[in-house]
Amino acid sequence: MSLAQEMEELFYEKIPITRALGVRVEEYDGRRLVLSAPLGRNVNHLGTAFGGSLDALAVLSCYGLLWLELRDPDSHIVIRESSISYDRPVRGDLRAVCALPDADALATFKRALDRRGRARIELTATLQDDGHDAVRFRGTFVAFR
């Protein structure tokens, strides 16, 4: 089983609403995680993607990427706070992209986690509509042992 498939199984088992959302792992290249979800299950009253589903997919893309980066069964990751801007409606399937922050920020985070058993990091994710950035998400995540 690939790491991406393992992630999908982990979502379904540990965060069961991901199955109802229809979350799929689309791509993972070691630096970037792409998750998708079908519009049909996540549609709102205007026929576009529901804000709550867009936020959930963004959160999961960040959480998933951090999980793949740490690959540490003794570490847990939680979200501390976030903000999100819905700049355009998403009219097709949902696709959230989260990329790792720069190497310095990542090294600082891992060092703090090793030393103190607890560290925080800021991650961003975007969702597009028809090639344009539609939703911008930023969140602070905390890892602890």
How many angstroms separate the CA atoms of 62 and 98, rounded? 6
Tell me the C-alpha to C-alpha distance, in Å, between residue 115 and each of 1, 8, 118, 144: 32, 30, 8, 11
**What is the torsional sign of CA 125, 54, 16, 142?**
positive
Write each residue from 12 to 51 as x if it is in contact with its own copies (CB under 8 A), else as -, in one continuous string.
--xxxx--xx-------------------xxxxxx---xx
For residue 81, state whether it binds its own copies (rule: CB under 8 A).
Answer: yes
Crossing angle of helices 103-116/51-70, nearest 10°? 70
For residue 129, state whether it binds its own copies (rule: CB under 8 A).
Answer: no
Question: Residue 6 corresponds to which tokens in the numbers above?
Answer: 């393992």
Q: Which of residues 84-113 bind its own copies (CB under 8 A)?
A: 84-86, 89
The binder of its own copies chosen from 10, 70, 106, 112 (CB under 8 A) = 10
The amino acid sitting at 91 is: R
Shortest distance (Å) from residue 93 CB to its own copies:
14
Nearer to its own copies, 100 or 142 (CB): 142
Q: With H, G, I as helix, E, B as strand and everything else as coil, classify residue 145.
A: coil
For residue 83, state whether it binds its own copies (rule: CB under 8 A).
Answer: yes
Nearer to its own copies, 92 or 111 (CB): 92
Q: Which residues bind its own copies (CB under 8 A)?
A: 10, 14-17, 20-21, 41-46, 50-53, 55-57, 59-60, 76, 78-86, 89
